[in-house]
Amino acid sequence: MSSLPSPALAYRLEAARAVVHDAARLAMSMRPPPGGPQGELKSAQDWLTETDGAVEAFIAQRMQALFPEDGFQGEEGGLTRTGSLRWVVDPIDGTSNYARGRCRWCVSLGLMDGDEPVAGVIDAPALGEVYTALRGYGAFLNGKPIKASPIKDPARSMIEMGWSGRVPKSVFMEKMDAIMELGTMPRSGGCGALALADVASGRLDGYIEIVINLWDVAAALPLLAEAGAVVSPFLRDGGLTGGATIMAANPHIGPVLAKAVSIPLE
């Protein structure tokens, strides 16, 4: 890792961390109490809350004021500004959890330099956790360095798979069965950005989602790269413009998992 990151990118990361912190506080203030979901369904189990729009608008306005030359893309508003550097936000990742007053959700803001993810902030305020990464300068959880897990034996590993109504049940069950055949402990937590962050921090040994979007992963991709995880070519295989498959894992489990679920790492 370089000890001297680009001043422009380092400044943007610090600014993004402050903006996302404030956005996360806004989300916490609007957080529904535990109970039945509060929001509306966009599609099967795909929730939208008032908070999604409020948080995205807050971040969009703050980043435009700070960096008017940068592009901006959000889950709710799409691509609203263009620039060689582009911010990509998921205002609430894990909305199904958020809408029920659960804790596993986050505000995710990534920075793209052209087609390359270079920095990211993932703030999970209900968990008291903030992930940050800058390409070439490390990945951190609450300011402490993180790295992918050292687990090598699939029978000792923990793998998460994201569920989506856009994926046929047969495909989901096929992949989940392959995971279980390895002897791993399967999980599904309802928040792709945090699952990828868990791979980066070593809390998970792998994560798979068959259809996921750029705003879900933009902040996590620098984390994974800096933490030494292996990742399937999500961006190359359609993730820049639409939903695509992602698999991230520690470098020991990655090849075994890739073979088992037929998701190549290259």
| Residue 70 counted as an annotated binding residue | no
47: which strand partners? 41
Q: And the tokens for 67?
A: 């960096």
| Residue 59 counted as an annotated binding residue | no
| Residue 90 counted as an annotated binding residue | yes
Q: And the tokens for 49?
A: 């809350």
| Residue 208 counted as an annotated binding residue | no
Using CA atoms, how far apart are residues 5 and 209, in angstroms rounded to an integer? 31
Using CA atoms, how far apart are residues 262 and 259, in angstroms rounded to an integer? 5
DSSP conformation class of 150: -
Sign, Cα dihedral of 218, 220, 226, 231: negative
Minimal CA–CA distance to 219: which of 130, 89, 126?
Answer: 89
| Residue 115 counted as an annotated binding residue | no
Q: Is the separation of the CB atoms in 91 and 56 below 8 Å?
A: yes
DSSP conformation class of 94: T
Q: Is the separation of the CB atoms in 111 and 117 below 8 Å?
A: yes
Q: Is the separation of the CB atoms in 60 and 80 below 8 Å?
A: yes
Q: Helix, strand or coil for residue 207?
A: strand
Q: Is the separation of the CB atoms in 80 and 28 below 8 Å?
A: no
CA-to-CA separations, 168 to 18, 67, 104, 208, in angstroms, rounded:
40, 41, 25, 15
Angle, alpha carbons 90-73-111 (nearest 5°): 80
Q: Which residues are annotated as a binding site?
A: 75, 90, 92-93, 216
Q: Which residues are annotated as a binding site for Mg(2+)?
A: 75, 90, 92-93, 216
